[in-house]
Copies of this chain bind each other. A is one copy, B any other.
């Protein structure tokens, strides 16, 4: 049972930047030759995260506003007082959402609902060159 792994790169902007990774995840799963198993999507770093959502601009804005309410950017963070990064809120948001997402693979395809996409959430306060690992394991 070999493990298939690929890495993708993408440029993100400052603020909560949401990217649809579904087409690339589907391509990696197809190239893996795995019929049944799991696909793990992971973003290295402590200010990014992964989840699923309907990739529709209305609900993406709703998510961004919810994140702003849950972990506000405009308040005191010890991290910023100590290091001056100004991205303490991004660290806390990423710890809440977590950097990995695991999904089943069945019939050679990632299993998702019809209106369910895999998204990268980049919470950092500056543009980043992100790399995302996609790893497929199974039979």
Interface residues as binary, A29-54 with B (CB distance below 8 Å gives 1, 0 otherwise):
00000001110101011100001111
Cα(A89)–Cα(B53), bound, Å = 12
User: Could you say which of B62, B81, B99, B137 contacts A77, with CB atoms under 8 Å apart?
Assistant: B62
Which of A45, A82, A116, A139 is packed against the most chain B CB atoms within 10 Å?
A116
Could you tell me which A residues sit within 8 Å of B by CB distance?
1-3, 5, 36-38, 40, 42, 44-46, 51-54, 56-59, 61-63, 66, 70-71, 77-83, 88-89, 91-92, 94-104, 106, 111-113, 115-116, 119, 133, 135, 137-139
Q: Which residues of B contact A54 (CB under 8 A)?
A: 46, 79, 91
Do A62 and B38 form a contact, CB below 8 Å, given A3-B138, A70-B70, A104-B133?
no
Q: Give 9 nearest A-B pairs by CB, closest first.
A: A58-B78, A45-B113, A59-B79, A58-B79, A44-B113, A58-B82, A53-B95, A46-B116, A3-B36
Cα(A79)–Cα(B113), bound, Å = 18
Task: Give the residue name and chain of the B residue nearest to A59 (CB).
Answer: B79
Do A62 and B44 form a contact, CB below 8 Å, given A38-B135, A137-B138?
no
Q: Are B98 and A45 in contact (CB under 8 A)?
A: no
Q: Are A94 and B38 in contact (CB under 8 A)?
A: no
